[in-house]
Structure 1
Amino acid sequence: MSIIERFKDDRGALSLEAMILFPALILVLLLVVAFGRVGSANNAVDTAARNAARAASLERSGGSASSAGQQVAASVLNQQGLQCTSTSVSVFTGGFSAQIGEPASTTATVTCVVRLSDIGLPGLPGSKTLTSSFTSSIDSYRQRG
């Protein structure tokens, strides 16, 4: 068998290989994009928890700390463009009852349930619950109400 006859037998093999491989490569690429977007949404929830805890730690009373933390968390999630189907923000304010001079802290926990079709790729079924907590110190020598 000559080289020319051998090449004639392989005609169309590249097209067949491409037909098989391209959909698999596109699927892998779409999964990478989806996982990246889920990671980005997770970062948005982390940022909301961090900013909420910081805002709460700057307040002088537990009531205002809880309110400030919830407002800041909602604002950050909105700025990040994260559309939660359900959002929960809890701010632990027990540190505000500590005596002046004692170390104290406040913790904000943000939970956001998002549809995978919103954060991953359109058409993905299901939802994902993203939760993050962050603790921020309260100034030990600041007057508390």
Structure 2
Amino acid sequence: MRHQNNLDLQLWLREAKFLQKAAQSDSLAQSLPVLRRLLESKIFTDITLPELKRHSASIQRKHLLHMLAAENGWSCWADFKKIVSAAPKGTLLPYSTERLDAGYLVQWFSSVSEAQRYTEQHSGKVVKVGSQAAVVPEQ
């Protein structure tokens, strides 16, 4: 059962790689959202956003994996990796997988509960992204 979710685990690793490239990008539009998530997840402390941007080349893949774990309620990547491996295939996927399936803009909310209230009236699928949430329209 552990190896059946290897594909799911690979999606999380690919997400971390994508986020690392975005964090290190010269484009502020690409880098700032990731850098803010790193700070919000307390991966880096005692550093300001402008300082983190200046030192973004030092951001490693392990930092992004730890951030993804923290955003999903786990204290470290090793623990989260075990959860992903044990989860039923396809049930615990990174946000980018959902975003690619959507094919168009999604609605953003500052909390999961706000997103859930929205779906009660308008339908859609709630996708947790850190402390925020997105609603992907049902297809």
The TM-score range, normalised by the shorter chain, is 0.3 to 0.5
Higher-helix-fraction structure:
2
Calculate the TM-score normalised by the size of structure 1.
0.32
- Could you say which structure has the higher strand fraction? 1
